[in-house]
Amino acid sequence: MTDSPTSPEPPHPLPTTNYRAFLIPAVGLLLVIGGFLLFGNLNNNLVYYLTTTEARQTRADFPDGRRFRLAGEVVPGTIESLSIGTSFIASDGITRVTVRHEGDPPQLFQEGIEVVVEGSWDGDAFVSDVMLVKHDEEYRVPEEGNYQEESP
Q: Which domain holds residue 100?
A: 46-133
Could you tell me if residue 91 is inside a domain? yes
Domain harbouring 72, CATH code: 2.40.50.140
Contacts 24+ apart (CB under 8 A), 47-55: 47/118, 49/116, 51/92, 51/95, 52/90, 52/91, 52/92, 52/94, 52/95, 52/96, 52/97, 53/92, 53/94, 53/95, 55/95, 55/97, 55/126
Could you tell me if residue 74 is inside a domain? yes
Mean pLDDT of the 117-134 span:
93
| pLDDT (0 to 100) of residue 62 | 87
Could you tell me if residue 144 is inside a domain? no
| pLDDT (0 to 100) of residue 139 | 67
For 71-114, write each residue's pLDDT tens digit.
999 999 999 999 999 999 999 999 999 999 999 999 889 999 99
Could you tell me if residue 34 is inside a domain? no
Entry pTM: 0.62
Residue 142 in this model has a pLDDT that exceeds 80: no
Judge contact between 82 and 59, C-beta under 8 A: no
Residue 117 in this model has a pLDDT that exceeds 90: yes
| pLDDT (0 to 100) of residue 22 | 76
Q: pLDDT higher for 24 or 106? A: 106
Could you tell me if residue 8 is inside a domain? no
| pLDDT (0 to 100) of residue 36 | 77
How many domains is the chain partitioned into structurally?
A: 1
Could you tell me if residue 16 is inside a domain? no
For 8-22, write each residue's pLDDT tens digit.
676 666 555 666 777
| pLDDT (0 to 100) of residue 85 | 94
Query: How large a percentage of the chain has pLDDT more than 70?
Result: 72
